[in-house]
Amino acid sequence: MLRRVALFPLCGLALWTAVPSASAPAVQPPSAFEGRPTFKEGSDRSYFVWNDGTTWNVRWTTRGEVRAFTGSVKATGGKLHDLNRIDVDEELRVIRPGRPARVVRGPRGRVTRVAPGRGPVVAETTADHITLVDDGLIRWNTRTDDDIDGIRFKVDDARALTFDLRISGESRPQGVEVGRGNVHPNDNPFTVRLR
């Protein structure tokens, strides 16, 4: 929704300009969301959003301090479906490739133990809540520290998707990166026009 603001009303000039109202999420081009952004586990207070064909992905990461990640994805027209929480272990293999468990050797070269990998912070998906509220709305309220979490979902026939991504209650566009170009959206919440 746009509102009109008169510039220079006292001078008799009636110049009008469209100013986005506070309730209208900024519109982002769909091409900005193509391809996975570059990121790693433990990026400080960040969301990452992208699409791979028909699948949309949202990941959130933090480093050290427990943070609350809350958000929503709303479809205008169409339907959201096939919502899945990511497999944290599988995701870590993607963002930290080639990092197997370490073998610890003693002074004579003998194997003394195998250092295990670190398990996910959110050990069970029931610990936090990610919900497909209805065909057009996904909501989540999760907590994580020094780890990664997220969702993937599909979209059918939607005109637009609106993302509202919050970290510890804050809405920071600089804490969101989209697409393979790691671009920050202009605002948060933001809307992607699909057609």
Output the domain CATH number for residue 151: 2.60.40
Looking at the predicted structure, is the pLDDT value of residue 164 above 70? yes
**65 domain-assigned:** yes
pLDDT value, residue 105: 73
Confidence of residue 92 (pLDDT cuts 50, 70, 90): low
**86 domain-assigned:** yes
Residue 165 belongs to what domain range?
A: 27-193
Domain count, the chain: 1
**169 domain-assigned:** yes
Nearest to 176 by CA among 13, 33, 1: 33
**14 domain-assigned:** no
For 22-66, what is each residue's pLDDT tens digit? 455 667 778 889 999 987 655 667 899 999 988 999 999 887 778
pLDDT value, residue 47: 93
In the numeric block, which tokens belong to residue 100?
């197997």
Task: Give dist(CA 164, CA 177) in Å, integer.
Answer: 13
**176 domain-assigned:** yes
Task: Give the pTM.
Answer: 0.69
In the numeric block, which tokens belong to residue 164?
């509202």
**5 domain-assigned:** no
Confidence of residue 5 (pLDDT cuts 50, 70, 90): very low
**7 domain-assigned:** no
Mean local confidence (pLDDT), 160-180: 93
pLDDT value, residue 173: 92
**165 domain-assigned:** yes
Looking at the predicted structure, is the pLDDT value of residue 194 above 80? yes
- Strands, DSSP E only, in the chain? 2-7, 15-20, 26-28, 46-52, 55-62, 67-76, 79-85, 102-105, 111-115, 129-134, 137-144, 147-156, 160-167, 176-178, 190-193
The alpha-helical segments, DSSP class H, found in 4-112 are: 88-95
